[in-house]
Structure 1
Amino acid sequence: MDMFIESIPFLFRRMINLEELTLQLSVIMGTVFIDGTHIYNNILIHLQQLRIFNFCICTDLRIDHLVHHLSKYDIQRTFSNAIYQDVDCMVQYGCNRAVCHVFSLPFIFDYIGYVGNTFPSIVFIHVRRLFVCDLVPFEHEFFIRIASCFPLLEHLNIYNIGPQLKVSTKLKSDNSQMNSIVKYSHLIWLELECVHIDYVEQFLNETKTHLPSLTRLTIYYSVLCNVTENFTRYITRRNCIKVNQLNLVVGIIERSKDFNVYFPLL
């Protein structure tokens, strides 16, 4: 954060005639969230000719650096007089870290990371790569929202070691959203490296998720064997059949007739 305070104003004081700016910035191990006040005082005040400003700024800091746990509302209030365009934000707290995104709308960037259960219900039409993580489990409805809000997603990386909540058979039968199959039409690469086994089930089970374009899968071999029942389970085969690049975190492929049926392109 100190580097941001010191370097950014110096940089933009040399660009006083700039009329259009696109900025994507990540600040790791900062001491405070970068908000509307920081952006105005360190960037906008130096760019009086600026007409178009597209930005996405992520601050990742340790919680013990925070005096107060700021909410999304607290962050949004700092933009009231600073930026004359639509702005949104996300704030997420973990066990020892906090992540804040502030970004202009419409969102024009192809990547966003550290998205948790709470994110704005807007369409990120340009995003192709997404990293989702949270201490709170991701339920089926979360992945429905991801598919809806990121319709052109090609690369999804999931980090969540918490098991999904188990729902009763009656709830499943009464809840149409629980029964709906999530479709990621453009998803090419799925990373399931740091996840509970429930999320492997969530994505490989065709009764829950449809992945018609999946060609690259990152996963633990033992977990893959478990969920597919050693490559004999029918309802997890369809989402694997087009995979031509299997990235194993740990383990060595033991080829068998059943494995070759599952992954005919390997």
Structure 2
Amino acid sequence: MTDKTSPEDIKEAKASGHVYAVKLYPKGVTTNSDSGVTDIKNVYPAMEEMAKVGMPLLIHGEVFTRSVDFFDREKVFLKEVMEPVVAAHPKLKIVMEHITTEDAVKFVSACGPNVGATITPHHLLYNRNAIFNKGLCPHLFCLPILKREKHRVALVAAATSGNPKFFAGTDSAPHPKTKKESACGCAGCYVGFASVELYAETFAQQGALSKLPGFLCSQGAKFYGLAPQTGKKLKLEKKAWKVPAEFELGDDVVVPIRAGDEIEWTLTLL
């Protein structure tokens, strides 16, 4: 979605049968968001059409105001943007993607059933201390950035609760090593190679493995209005394995999360 996205664009997208949702980035808030929305009210007409046709809006929930503390960008977004949007478009399906704060958990929980949120494996496993452990770790720098431990704990509680408003969203970003280890490294963690296994670690630690299938498979599909896929099954085993130091990526390489360390679970496609 951009400032120029119109109700007609939404109608065409819905009619195509290929577009199931619309992603909104505030301008400049993350990697490759230079064409993002500058003022949320610019896209209110498009949102009205989305509510009519039942198309979900997926939001990267941070402000890009330089006077706002970097770690408060999500909290401020809730007050300045999300509250007005939900009030103005009460029937619009909204997903706050990759939430990172206790504030977001409380906000989504308090909203009606048309507001949900995704949570990444890395925001469940790490707090902001991990970015600075043994020096600066660029491969744990993502946006929204990792937060304090109290926020991680709140995310874990939401993810493992079985509440259908919360479901998986990996936000996996396999940026080349040269783009991460640089004077101005880009944001994003590569978790896609083992996202299910990483989620399993959190759910197992909480004694909530029975809630994992819903979080991964059915809760999100139901919210988006998609039919869950059946026929294929995955097998998770408590069997540790060592993550490679890097993976090939074209002429470069990508450094995965937990490179050189172990992941506790192994996944097999049956």
TM-score band, normalised by the shorter chain?
0.3 to 0.5
Q: Which has the higher strand share?
A: 1
Return the TM-score normalized by structure 2: 0.39
Q: Which has the higher helix share?
A: 2
